[in-house]
Amino acid sequence: MANKAKMAHYEEAVKHFSRAIELSPGFVMPYIYRGEVYHKMGKFDLAIRDYTEAIFWTSQPTRAYHGRGMAHGAKGDIDKAIEDFTKAMQYEPDYAEAYYQRAHACVIKNEFDLAIEDCDKAIQLNPDAANAYLLRGNAYSSKGDFDFAIMDYSKAIRLKPDDADAYVLRGNAYDVKGDIDKAIANYSKAIELKPNDTNVYVVRCHVHLLKGDFDSAITDCESAIERNPNAAYAYVILGIVFSNKEDFDSAIVNYTKAMRLEPDNVHAYYGRGKAYSSKGIVDRAIEDYTKVIKLAPHHPEYYVSRGIAYRNKGDFDSAIADYSKAIELKPNDTDVYVVRGHVHLLKGDFESAIADCQKVIGLRRKAADPYIIRAIAYSLQGDFDSAITDCESAIERNPNAAYAYVILGITFSNKRDFDSAIANYSKAINLNPNEAIFYHNRGMAYFSKDEFDQALKDYTKVLELDSDCVPAYYNRAKAWLHQQEWEKAKADLTAVRNRGTDIISRFRKDYQSVAGFKRKTGVELPGDIAAMLKQHDEQVPTPPMERNLFEFQSGTEPYSFEDFAVMPLQQAEQSQTSLMEISQLQPRYEIEHRPFAS
């Protein structure tokens, strides 16, 4: 819309053209001129009326059809705009501008092939029309033909080397192709040409973020905010940057600033919810996700994220309800069936877990995850043979599925086949040599075979990877006791006790008493260690540490799947929430030129 001074000028022009029409009602040009002025004033209906009058009075109505098409397009009536541009071409087949504007209309209607055809004709008629190359590049880009888009943007740049928009558009195409460095180079050139354009800084910030260059991303966002303190989007991107740096407090601060500027900014609430969730502040995360769902109730990923928060809170029923809503919105999203199956597993509803896995298998036969989850369910029901079959099916589909080998290891351990268990744990370790729990479980299998040297190596490796792993200290202490390495055993038992675990209750669970240890092993404990492990009245009998990620297990107890009902779930959830929505939140640079502008 024009400013006040221009509007006054336009009003004056309208008076003059109206006077001309009064004097010569059949004279065409005053209608066209007044229509153009009305268009500039945003009075599109009046413009359409004048162009219609012009069409009536002339035998060469090309310009009038073009003008009326522009007014229809500006009103949003794209079909009528196309009709008028087509009429203009019929009267003047070499009218390049009509082809160009009809191409604009086709892009708006997502008819990209037709848009490309019209751009081809416009370029044929006017080979130096840089805007036609830009528009055709946009059409190719919308089709996913980014190489052709880049060629067109490059041609536009050669024709208009100072056009910052062309560099941004070419940068976008390189970004989507994954050529991040070229994208950054193009955005940087655009900034050189338009140093105060906030949007370009935000777009370049996004690409720095994708590259993992968080410091450059922060610098660009701060530059955008310096130029426009009300740029809510820049604060959102800053929130994403800090979240990926695991500085969740700073992320929350920036998301909150974005909300103050735009109280209904979905991305700000969603990002802050994730930041709260990462900090373990589950109730605040749920509040933010609930706000997001209120603002955008038809996006399944928001229900999934809230479902994850409910699951972390232990509210499995609410988690299942959210996952079910996500499935209702996107019935064939197999990842959601996977995470819902995991929560059914955590609830102990094995039949529902198996049903969800069966659904995934029906939709995505090559997926390994549902077989792993179903294997856990079968094992927890005592159906070890079916569990083994499912793990083998998972491995057949994904030979690198380390957790399938671990579940096999646990299943074979529960069948007392420790050699097979060790073989499978070793395969898992080869695939993922930095996962402490793999070594921990293999150590327990070696311990169950009385191969204490191997067990000690595995427990020590666990502690190299996680120096605060209490179960590894405790189980290594037991191995030292069996080998009569008293000082080493005492040191590990002390480490367990100092970390808040009741070693007496734990020891009694394994051996009943110090005397029970002697009966079982034939080894008599020295007095100082025996004193550490003797029951006293004030001791609490059942430590909560047994519910930790690393379930304490002895060679005489069934091996627990509790750990692995959680850990693969975390991996499945990551497929829903990878890298803090960077790919979802790609900034779209707004080109100043608007279609159908007079």
pLDDT value, residue 534:
84
Q: Answer yes or no: are the C-beta atoms of 472 and 466 closer than 8 Å.
A: yes
Non-local CB neighbours of 345 within 8 Å, separated by 6+ positions: 353, 373, 376, 377, 380, 565
Amino acid at 310: Y
pLDDT of residue 228: 94
pLDDT of residue 66: 96
Q: How many CB atoms lie within 10 A of CB 207?
A: 24
Across all residues in the chain, what is the average pLDDT? 89
- For residue 597, is pLDDT > 50? yes
pLDDT digits over 351-397, tens only?
A: 999 999 999 998 887 889 899 999 999 999 999 999 999 999 999 99
Query: What is the mean pLDDT of the segment spanning 492-513?
Result: 92
Per-residue pLDDT at 551: 36
Residue-level pLDDT at 210 = 87
What average pLDDT does the segment 455-468 reach? 96
Q: Which residues are CB-neighbours of 289 under 8 A, at least 6 positions away?
A: 269, 270, 273, 302, 305, 306, 309
pLDDT in tens, 295-342: 999 999 999 999 999 999 999 999 999 999 999 999 989 999 999 999
pLDDT at 598: 61
**Model confidence, pTM:** 0.74
**H-type helices in 4-128, by residue range?**
4-23, 28-41, 44-57, 62-75, 78-91, 96-108, 112-125
**pLDDT reported for residue 42:** 93
Residues 31-52: pLDDT tens digits?
999 999 999 999 999 999 999 9
What H or E segment, with its residue span, contains residue 585? none
pLDDT of residue 181: 95
DSSP state of 382: T
Confidence of residue 588 (pLDDT cuts 50, 70, 90): very low
- Check if the beta carbon of residue 346 is closer than 8 Å to that of residue 339: no
**Domains in the chain with CATH codes:** 332-379 (no CATH), 400-567 (1.25.40.10)
Q: What is the pLDDT of residue 1?
A: 54
Report pLDDT for 559. 40
Task: Write the CB contacts of 327 (distance below 8 Å, at least 6 apart in sequence).
Answer: 300, 333, 336, 337, 340
pLDDT in tens, 67-89: 999 999 999 999 999 999 999 99
On the question of pLDDT at 574 being above 70, the answer is: no
Write out pLDDT tens, residues 205-241: 989 988 899 999 999 999 999 999 999 999 999 999 9
Question: pLDDT by residue (tens digit) across 119-131?
Answer: 999 999 999 999 9
What one-character DSSP code corresponds to residue 128? T
Please compute the mean of the pLDDT values over residues 440-465 and round it to a whole number. 96
